[in-house]
Amino acid sequence: MGQQVLCYHNQIAPLRTVKYDGPTKGKCYYGCSYWPNRGHAYFSNGLMKLMKLKDSKIAEVEQEMEELKQKVKRLKAKKEKL
């Protein structure tokens, strides 16, 4: 969808990769754009899953809305014929 993620400072949060050895090495996360100057804030994979779920739900509702608009259009045309 191409939406940008914002950090807690309302700045674009860069996508980063864990570089330190450990179980999360190589995983991606959205980090605070001010790190390390103002502390470290990051967005976990759980938050990213929720954001993707929200985006897919929005797309689903937009599709339903478009279908309803088309249905209203057809019903209005049908009403005019009566």
Span 40-75, pLDDT tens digits: 555 555 566 666 667 777 888 899 999 999 999 999
Q: What percent of the chain has pLDDT over 90?
A: 21
Identify the residue with better confidence: 38 or 61.
61
Residue 8 confidence (pLDDT) above 60: yes
Per-chain mean pLDDT for the chain = 78
Read off the pLDDT band of 1 (50, 70, 90).
very low
| Three-state SS sequence of the chain | CCCCCECCCCCECCEEECCCCCCCCCCEEEECCCCCECECCEECHHHHHHHHHHHHHHHHHHHHHHHHHHHHHHHHHHHHHC
